[in-house]
């Protein structure tokens, strides 16, 4: 075992996504629960085996979950919404997660600023909460039977409350006195398991700007929990940002350890003196748990030495910066990747060896390493040097161009631009359009796959895509839509499509990361300077334009979204990487416009996802995110109309920023909230045009003409017709043609009726 090594949590979906497949088979009623349980048991053992073999001292139990840890915690505390009251066991569990025929699923939302989504517990003052510790106790026993002694991970009470919602209205922290006793009971049960046991209590909520009520609960909570049993050592862990305010309080409670992230929360260095004085154990997050780059071992040792300047070395545990849930499982199955690039990466399993090697060097010395470890260290050094110098990463031309950007903004003020555009494009008030994609049929998915695998030649592939585009254009004309799109059949994903055509972008074969439940994503990664070797969308768009006299809207993904949905290189600031992407998009905008495309939409679906967790850092993000959106469209002439699209509905906090992006038209996702969320646009006197989605594309339901008419009138209560566009609230790629066709026809008809009435 390597001294003082610690892993906050391990990925659980399985190295070949075994859990996903077992769950989906069970849900499809093609297997029974015992099969899922068998897979789950084998996976847990495998995860312990990996960690044991690597020599990790503190590994976890209860980091596994069949769906989500927050859901598990809700069940542990007996927080079951009333609509599921008649259900039990797995039926209850999966109904809460996914709904059933009688009850809708619980809501799901993003886990801090990651792409993991948790189930939002629903609480109510008149509910009673009772302990069900079975899962937690069983998993610990399983580990012991297997032959390891893990810590037990649980989500802390303040994070649990902070992330829950009240179904009866009111603040979730009002339920504190009902919930805390259940945590006490839980710890009492845990204490019976062993003579000495470590409990990791995750409190990531501590890295946010905390309200005084929450701050005031930290001390009573941890005084209480740390006093439940002498058998228990409590480690309160935080991650993703600094936790300076909470740390100040935690050091004055009888807990054993505090976990801090030294990569994403550099301010945590300021807490070291306090931790040292209180003689607490410090779980020092130094190996990146949310990115895929190889650790620079010597650099990490230096960071730890800096920490040890304050905190007694013996009290330092070397840890991942957060749970390894947020990185793919193992590099082992990446068979197709360029070996030079692969050599720069490190997934979950590989990070374990990094942690143990750092421990050996930190606690002993480089000289104490055996020959295999020496080799590992020198390979690590070489890989890091290669990243600093490789021509695959460093492109002088790109760097020069970034240094010499002369123009960050397009020409002309909005008022002047829109006048020219309206004249030239000649669209009516309440102009109709769509967000870009049309249904991705099994046929086009198949053709794309075949082409990628080399089983379909380029001409046949292009013909098939063109046929689809022809159909899209024909349908839109027939339907009477005014601004057309080509339908995006060639795109598998709005980021991947561009990533594949940009230099500096890499793709993995097996880099799956759990997004929610059984769903995984495989984010592409940015390893080097980004450039666009040639036009990416011009051919498809101009082909589509050639098929119609109406205006064809070009469709691009914006720099901020491309960045936020990728793993990003860590040897350069995100704001610089974003600038490079923006220049690539800027060239594309220019090429499209030169090819005769008059409207270009630059999607920023993930603009909001990049927001920092701390308010103090928001301004900086907004500054560069807006800068780079504007840079991406800075090549647009005044008469080229720039649209953007955002998959959001909440703009209250960020409306000034949205306005500053200065898109001529923005389409947004407001269908489910009537005109409520549009009001902020009117309130701030938003000038540019807005296309609030008039129907929800996330459901197969076909909206009626009447319904859309009503919706349009409600929009007209907020904004004048000259400022409004009419469109669905997102792309249509997940829908079927049978749903899309009547829905859009109804939408166009609704506009006709409203226009006529307004005459
Ligand atoms: N243009 C994209 C589409 O229609 C936008 C998708 C999105 O915003 N998520 O599919
Ligand atoms: Zn959208």
Q: Is the CB of 494 under 6 A from ligand 1?
A: yes
Q: Find all residues with CB under 8 Å of 477, minimum gap 6, and list them.
A: 484, 548, 550
Q: Residue 732 Cα, ligand 1 centroid: separation in angstroms?
A: 8
Q: Residue 605 Cα, ligand 2 centroid: separation in angstroms?
A: 6
| Rounded CA separation 736/733 (Å) | 8
Q: What is the pLDDT of residue 675?
A: 87
Instruction: Looking at the CA of residue 605, tell me the nearest atom of ligand 1.
Output: 8
Is the confidence at residue 672, as pLDDT, over 90? no
What is the second-level CATH architecture of the domain 5-389? Alpha-Beta Barrel (3.20)
Q: Is the CB of 740 under 6 A from ligand 1?
A: no
What is the second-level CATH architecture of the domain 421-758? Alpha-Beta Barrel (3.20)
Question: Atom 4 in ligand 1: which residue has the minimum CA distance?
Answer: 731
What would the pLDDT profile of 78-121 be if each residue is shown by its tens digit?
999 999 999 999 999 999 999 999 999 999 999 999 999 999 99
Q: Which helix (H) or strand (E) holds 26?
A: helix 18-27
Q: Is the CB of 658 under 6 A from ligand 1?
A: no
* Mutation pick for ligand 1 pocket among 436, 540, 560 (CB with most ligand atoms within 8 Å): 436
Three-state DSSP state, 569: coil
Residue with tokens 């949205």: 658
* Mutation pick for ligand 1 pocket among 433, 488, 604 (CB with most ligand atoms within 8 Å): 488
Helix axes 348-363, 297-308, angle to 10 degrees: 50
Catalytic positions are 698
From the CA of 604, which ligand is nearest?
1
Q: Is the CB of 436 under 6 A from ligand 1?
A: yes
Question: Atom 10 in ligand 1: which residue has the minimum CA distance?
Answer: 731
Does 421-758 match 5-389 at the fold level? yes
Q: Residue 712 Cα, ligand 1 centroid: separation in angstroms?
A: 22
Question: Atom 5 in ligand 1: which residue has the minimum CA distance?
Answer: 731
Q: Residue 436 Cα, ligand 1 centroid: separation in angstroms?
A: 6
Q: Is the CB of 731 under 6 A from ligand 1?
A: yes
Q: What is the pLDDT of residue 122?
A: 97
Pair 588, 556: CB distance under 8 Å: yes
Q: What is the pLDDT of residue 673?
A: 79
| Percent residues over pLDDT 70 in the chain | 100
| Rounded CA separation 438/746 (Å) | 16
Q: Residue 697 Cα, ligand 2 centroid: separation in angstroms?
A: 9
Q: Retrieve residue 298's tokens.
A: 């010597």
| Rounded CA separation 494/555 (Å) | 10
From the CA of 488, which ligand is nearest?
1
Q: Please state, rounded to an integer, the average pLDDT across all residues of the chain.
A: 97
Q: How confident is the model at residue 695 (pLDDT cuts 50, 70, 90)?
A: very high
Question: Atom 1 in ligand 1: which residue has the minimum CA distance?
Answer: 436
| Rounded CA separation 503/559 (Å) | 14
Q: Is the CB of 730 under 6 A from ligand 1?
A: yes
Instruction: Looking at the CA of residue 733, tell me the nearest atom of ligand 1.
Output: 10
What would the pLDDT profile of 486-532 be if each residue is shown by its tens digit?
999 999 999 999 999 999 999 999 999 999 999 999 999 999 999 99
Instruction: Looking at the CA of residue 557, tell me the nearest atom of ligand 1.
Output: 1
Is the confidence at residue 143, as pLDDT, over 90? yes
Q: Is the CB of 554 under 6 A from ligand 1?
A: no
| Rounded CA separation 543/463 (Å) | 11
From the CA of 600, which ligand is nearest?
1
Q: Is the CB of 733 under 6 A from ligand 1?
A: yes
400 or 1, greater pLDDT: 400
Q: Residue 730 Cα, ligand 1 centroid: separation in angstroms?
A: 6
Q: Retrieve residue 362's tokens.
A: 């930190």
| Rounded CA separation 395/503 (Å) | 10
Q: Residue 606 Cα, ligand 2 centroid: separation in angstroms?
A: 9
Three-state DSSP state, 36: helix
Q: What is the pLDDT of residue 499?
A: 96
Q: What is the pLDDT of residue 674?
A: 81
pTM for this structure?
0.94
What would the pLDDT profile of 6-42 be if each residue is shown by its tens digit?
999 999 999 999 999 999 999 999 999 999 999 999 9
What would the pLDDT profile of 420-442 be if each residue is shown by its tens digit?
999 999 999 999 999 999 999 99
Q: What is the pLDDT of residue 699?
A: 87
Is the confidence at residue 546, as pLDDT, over 90? yes
Q: Residue 667 Cα, ligand 1 centroid: separation in angstroms?
A: 11
φ, ψ of residue 552 to 5 degrees: the values are: -100, 125
Pair 425, 550: CB distance under 8 Å: no
What would the pLDDT profile of 737-759 be if each residue is shown by its tens digit?
999 999 999 999 999 999 999 98
Helix axes 371-389, 348-363, angle to 10 degrees: 110
HSE on the CB side for 54, CA within 13 Å? 26
Q: Is the CB of 434 under 6 A from ligand 1?
A: no
From the CA of 668, which ligand is nearest?
2
Residue with tokens 């810590």: 151
Q: What is the pLDDT of residue 649?
A: 78
Q: How confident is the model at residue 466 (pLDDT cuts 50, 70, 90)?
A: very high
| Rounded CA separation 389/398 (Å) | 15
The number of beta carbons lying within 10 Å of the beta carbon of residue 98 is 16
Q: What is the pLDDT of residue 42?
A: 98
From the CA of 667, which ligand is nearest?
2
Is the confidence at residue 244, as pLDDT, over 90? yes
| Percent residues over pLDDT 90 in the chain | 97
156-172: average pLDDT: 97
246-265: average pLDDT: 98
Q: Is the CB of 668 under 6 A from ligand 1?
A: no
Q: Is the CB of 603 under 6 A from ligand 1?
A: yes
Q: What is the pLDDT of residue 409?
A: 97
* Mutation pick for ligand 1 pocket among 521, 585, 645, 733 (CB with most ligand atoms within 8 Å): 645
Q: Is the CB of 562 under 6 A from ligand 1?
A: no
Pair 318, 304: CB distance under 8 Å: yes
Q: How confident is the model at residue 711 (pLDDT cuts 50, 70, 90)?
A: very high
Instruction: Looking at the CA of residue 437, tell me the nearest atom of ligand 1.
Output: 4
Q: What is the pLDDT of residue 670?
A: 84
Q: What is the pLDDT of residue 253?
A: 98
Q: What is the pLDDT of residue 478?
A: 98
Question: Atom 3 in ligand 1: which residue has the minimum CA distance?
Answer: 731
Instruction: Looking at the CA of residue 555, tell me the nearest atom of ligand 1.
Output: 1
The torsion region of residue 71 among left (phi > 0), alpha (psi -120 to 50) and beta comes to alpha
From the CA of 671, which ligand is nearest?
2
Query: Where exactly are the structural domains of the chain?
Result: 5-389, 421-758
Question: Atom 8 in ligand 1: which residue has the minimum CA distance?
Answer: 605
């Amino acid at each position: 075992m390597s001294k003082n090594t610690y892993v906050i949590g391990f990925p659980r979906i399985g190295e070949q996504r075994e859990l996903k497949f077992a769950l989906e088979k069970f849900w499809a009623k093609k297997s029974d629960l015992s099969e899922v349980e068998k897979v789950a048991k084998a996976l847990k053992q495998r995860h312990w085996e990996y960690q044991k073999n690597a020599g990790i001292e503190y590994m976890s139990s209860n980091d596994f979950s069949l769906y989500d840890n927050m859901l598990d915690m809700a069940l542990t505390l007996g927080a079951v919404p009333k609509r599921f009251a008649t259900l039990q066991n797995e039926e209850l569990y999966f109904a809460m997660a996914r709904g059933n025929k009688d009850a809708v699923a619980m809501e799901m939302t993003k886990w801090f600023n990651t792409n993991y989504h948790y189930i939002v517990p629903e609480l109510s003052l008149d509910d009673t909460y009772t302990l069900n510790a079975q899962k937690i106790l069983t998993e610990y026993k399983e580990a012991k039977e297997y032959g390891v002694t893990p810590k037990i991970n649980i989500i802390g009470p303040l994070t649990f409350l902070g992330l829950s919602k009240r179904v009866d209205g009111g603040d979730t922290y009002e339920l504190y006195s009902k919930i805390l006793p259940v945590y006490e009971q839980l710890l009492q049960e845990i204490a019976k398991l062993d003579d000495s046991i470590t409990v990791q209590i995750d409190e990531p909520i501590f890295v946010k700007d905390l309200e005084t009520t929450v701050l005031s609960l930290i001390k009573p909570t941890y005084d209480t929990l740390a006093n439940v049993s002498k058998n228990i050592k409590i480690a309160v862990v935080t991650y993703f940002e600094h936790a300076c305010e909470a740390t100040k309080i935690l050091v004055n409670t009888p807990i054993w350890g505090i976990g801090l992230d030294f990569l994403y929360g550099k301010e945590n260095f300021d807490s070291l003196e306090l931790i040292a004085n209180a003689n607490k154990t410090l779980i020092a997050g130094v190996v990146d748990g949310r990115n895929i780059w190889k650790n620079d071992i010597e650099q990490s040792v230096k960071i730890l030495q800096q920490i040890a300047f304050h905190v007694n070395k013996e009290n330092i545990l070397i840890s991942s910066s957060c749970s390894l849930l947020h990185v793919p499982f193992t590099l082992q199955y990446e068979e197709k990747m360029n070996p030079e690039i692969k050599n720069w990466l490190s997934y979950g399993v590989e990070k374990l060896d990094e942690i143990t090697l750092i421990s050996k060097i930190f606690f002993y010395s480089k000289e104490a390493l055996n020959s295999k470890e020496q080799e590992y260290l020198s390979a690590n050094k070489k890989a890091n040097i290669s990243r600093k110098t490789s021509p695959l990463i460093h492109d002088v031309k790109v760097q020069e161009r970034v240094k010499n950007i002369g123009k960050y903004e397009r020409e002309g003020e909005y008022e002047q631009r829109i006048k020219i555009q309206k004249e030239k494009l000649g669209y009516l008030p309440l102009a109709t359009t769509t967000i870009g994609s049309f249904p991705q049929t099994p046929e086009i998915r198949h053709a794309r796959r075949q082409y990628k695998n080399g089983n379909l030649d380029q001409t046949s592939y292009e013909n098939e895509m063109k046929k689809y585009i022809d159909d899209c254009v024909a349908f839109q004309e027939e339907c009477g839509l005014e601004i057309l799109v080509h339908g995006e059949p060639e795109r598998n994903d709005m980021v991947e499509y561009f990533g594949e055509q940009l230099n500096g972008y890499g793709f993995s074969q097996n880099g799956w990361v759990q997004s929610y439940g059984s769903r995984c994503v495989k984010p592409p990664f940015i390893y080097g300077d980004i450039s666009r070797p040639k036009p990416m969308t011009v051919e498809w768009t101009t082909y589509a334009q050639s098929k119609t006299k109406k205006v064809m809207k070009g469709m691009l993904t914006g720099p901020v979204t491309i960045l936020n949905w990728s793993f990003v290189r860590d040897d350069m600031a995100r704001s610089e990487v974003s600038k490079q992407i923006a220049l690539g998009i800027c060239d594309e905008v220019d090429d499209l416009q030169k090819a005769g495309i008059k409207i270009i939409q630059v999607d920023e679906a993930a603009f909001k996802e990049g927001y920092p967790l701390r308010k103090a850092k928001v301004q900086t993000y907004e500054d560069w995110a807006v800068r780079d959106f504007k840079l991406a469209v800075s090549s647009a002439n005044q008469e080229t109309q720039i649209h953007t699209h955002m998959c959001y509905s909440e703009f209250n906090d960020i409306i000034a920023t949205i306005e500053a992006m200065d898109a001529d038209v923005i389409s947004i996702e407001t269908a489910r909230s009537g005109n409520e969320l549009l009001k902020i646009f009117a309130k701030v006197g938003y000038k540019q045009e807005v296309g609030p989605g008039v129907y929800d594309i996330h459901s197969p339901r076909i909206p009626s003409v009447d319904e859309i008419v009503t919706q349009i009138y409600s929009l007209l209560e907020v904004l004048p017709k000259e400022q409004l566009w009419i469109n669905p609230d997102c792309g249509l790629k997940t829908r079927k043609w049978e749903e899309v066709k009547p829905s859009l026809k109804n939408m166009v008809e609704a506009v006709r009726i409203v226009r006529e009435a307004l005459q």
